[in-house]
Amino acid sequence: MKNKLKVLRAEHSYTQEDLADIIGVSRQTINAIEKEKFDPSLPTAFRISQLFKLTIEDIFYFEEN
C-alpha cells in the first residue's frame, strides 16, 4: 500500500517523533509506514486521517505491483 504520509508530515512541520506521540505509536512505526514497509491498522489510519483532516483514501491508496 502506498501513502502520502511523509509529504503531509513535512507540510505540517511535524517530526516523526511528534507524529508518533500524537497518534500513539512508536517513531519506528511512523518510519516504517512512510517507507511503505508496514501497513497501519485501521484505527491508526483513522487517527492519521483525522489529524490531517483528510479521508483515509486521500492518504493511503492501493497500487498493484
Partner 1 sequence: MKKDRKKNLYQLAAWTWSWVATLAIASFGPKYIWDGHTFLTIFAISVNLANGILMIVANRNFFNNLDELQRKIHLESLALTLGLAVVVGLTYSLLDVTNVIVVDAEISNLVVFIGITYLICVTVNTRRYT
Residue 54 CB, nearest distance to partner 1 (Å)? 21
Secondary-structure breakdown of the chain: helix, strand, coil percentages, each rounded to the nearest 5: 55, 5, 35
Cβ count near 19 (within 10 Å): 23
Does position 40 interact with partner 1 (CB under 8 A)? The reply is yes
Residue from 18, 21, 47, 49 touching partner 1 (CB under 8 A): that is 21
The angle at the Cα of 21, spanning 31 to 40, to the nearest 5 degrees, equals 45
Residue from 32, 51, 54, 56 touching partner 1 (CB under 8 A): that is 32
Contact residues for partner 1, defined by CB under 8 A = 21, 24-26, 28-29, 31-32, 37-38, 40-41, 44
